[in-house]
Amino acid sequence: MFTGIVTDLGRLREIDRNGDARLTIETRFDTAQIDLGASIACSGVCLTVVDKGPVVEEGPGWFAVNASTETLSKTTLGSWQVGQGINLERALQLGDELGGHLVSGHVDGIARCVGVVPEGESHRFRFAVPNHVAPFVASKGSVTLDGVSLTVNEVDDPTNPDEPTVFGVNIIPHTWEVTTFGSLKEGGWVNLEIDVLARYVARLLDKKA
């Protein structure tokens, strides 16, 4: 489990595609404290560390993960390019502060950025969501976008069924600076995870229907 509080902005150093993919990610984490087999959320996707290298004077440390064909097809990982930023969060430990909300690292769909507008010192982002995810997005509820825990400001349901549901979030200056939101443009795609509580409530209501 994770909290959606990004603790490092990593960089994709290398990608080896051969059906599945092996991703090598630079990080400022102390990799000596990361066990092989540990879980790290990489822009919202829970991945397992299979190799690592230490921080050295010449640059940051690194760790490697494998992504299956299924993961590549269901998340933004399939379009990742060397050099791009990656939001990183290590797995939650017993006693850690829960600063965001409970996040599993299991992506429910990808959302498209349809607008970025400055709003005071912050930025208002708007995202179009897949139809199967839209019912789980609620105003003042929580979502995870590229591994960042965010509160939904508003949800605009379409009058035309062929159009997507769109919701908005505010990105404060700190989040803009320390995550990939600072480089996200209109038309870009992000990994979306709905609030796990919304998923269970929907499941319970479905059983009662």
As a three-state string, the secondary structure of 22-43 is EEEEEECCCHHHCCCCCEEEEC
Determine whether 189 is exposed, middle or buried from the number of CB atoms within 10 Å of its CB (0-12, 13-18, 19+).
Answer: middle
Q: Do domains 8-90 and 109-208 have the same CATH topology?
A: yes
Distance of alpha carbon 7 from the chain centroid: 13
Has domain 8-90 been given CATH number 3.90.79.10? no
Other residues' Cβ atoms within 10 Å of the Cβ of residue 182: 14
Each domain of the chain, given as residue ranges in start order, spans: 8-90, 109-208
**Model pTM?**
0.91
Q: What is the pLDDT along the chain (209 residues), one digit of tens a residue?
A: 899 999 999 999 999 998 899 999 999 999 999 999 999 999 999 999 999 998 666 678 999 999 999 999 999 999 999 999 999 999 987 666 666 688 999 999 999 999 999 999 999 999 999 998 998 999 999 999 999 999 999 999 888 888 999 999 999 999 999 999 999 999 999 999 998 777 667 666 665 54
Distance of alpha carbon 14 from the chain centroid: 20
pLDDT of residue 209: 46
109-208 to CATH, choices 3.40.640.10, 2.40.30.20, 3.40.190.10, 3.40.50.300: 2.40.30.20
